[in-house]
Amino acid sequence: MIKTLLISSLAMTATSALAYGQAANNPFSGMGRDSDQPIAITADSTTADMQNETATYSGNVRIVQGNLHMRADTLSIKASKGTIEHIQADGGVVLASPQGQATGSTATYDIMQRVVKMGGKVVLVNGQNVLQGTSLVVNLATGRADLTGGGPGGRVSGVFSPTKTPKISAPGTPPKPTEDVKDGKPTP
């Protein structure tokens, strides 16, 4: 059975993090405003088909759109009337934001729908929190991300690291001395 983990509800599912007062952030929240930004692409080489409005980039491909950064081995784009509508990235794909990143072997970015789909062995990292699955769908407009395990018995897994907080003494409890004190003077 395929299990789905909603990244947007990490704060609710990571009870150990909540116990320490830490809420896990969605690595792709707030990216909806970036999906209207210009798209910059760099690569070692490109081949364009102006008639069909397609292009293929290869070698150290980098894509930047606002705070959304993607890199891959190869990239294909489809445009309509000079506007990119669809991006297909393959090989060593990394999707990053200031809050975290996801890695996988493939990614498609539907510009109009503002949806990124990643496949392969997907690893989602937010600080020290790590989630793994086989498919990730990120809606950049809503900030919602769905991570899915695949295949028979496929599961998602996650490791959540709570932030250590200083221990506070109960009210009325004197602080523990750092050294032995006798008659108001430290003892050797």
Q: Which CATH class is domain 4-186?
A: mainly beta
> What average pLDDT does the structure give for the chain?
77
Contact 101/93 with Cβ under 8 angstroms? no
pLDDT band at 63 (very low <50, low <70, confident <90, very high): very high
pLDDT band at 172 (very low <50, low <70, confident <90, very high): low
Kindly state the average pLDDT of the residues 81-91.
Answer: 93
pLDDT band at 23 (very low <50, low <70, confident <90, very high): very low
User: Cα–Cα distance between 104 and 124 in angstroms, integer?
Assistant: 9
11: pLDDT strictly greater than 50: no
Contact 56/47 with Cβ under 8 angstroms? yes
Give pLDDT tens digits for 134-166: 999 988 888 788 889 876 678 888 888 887 666
- Domain boundary assignment for the chain: 4-186
Contact 57/49 with Cβ under 8 angstroms? no
User: Cα–Cα distance between 2 and 151 in angstroms, integer?
Assistant: 7
User: Cα–Cα distance between 13 and 2 in angstroms, integer?
Assistant: 18
Q: Phi, psi (5° rounding) for residue 75? A: -150, 135
pLDDT band at 104 (very low <50, low <70, confident <90, very high): very high
Both structure tokens of 15: 């009870």
Kindly state the average pLDDT of the residues 14-33.
Answer: 41
User: Cα–Cα distance between 122 and 104 in angstroms, integer?
Assistant: 4
Between 1 and 153, the more confident residue is 153
Kindly state the average pLDDT of the residues 38-61.
Answer: 96
Kindly state the average pLDDT of the residues 77-104.
Answer: 92
Residue 7 has a pLDDT of: 34
Q: Which of 19-33, 75-89, 153-167 has the highest mean pLDDT?
A: 75-89
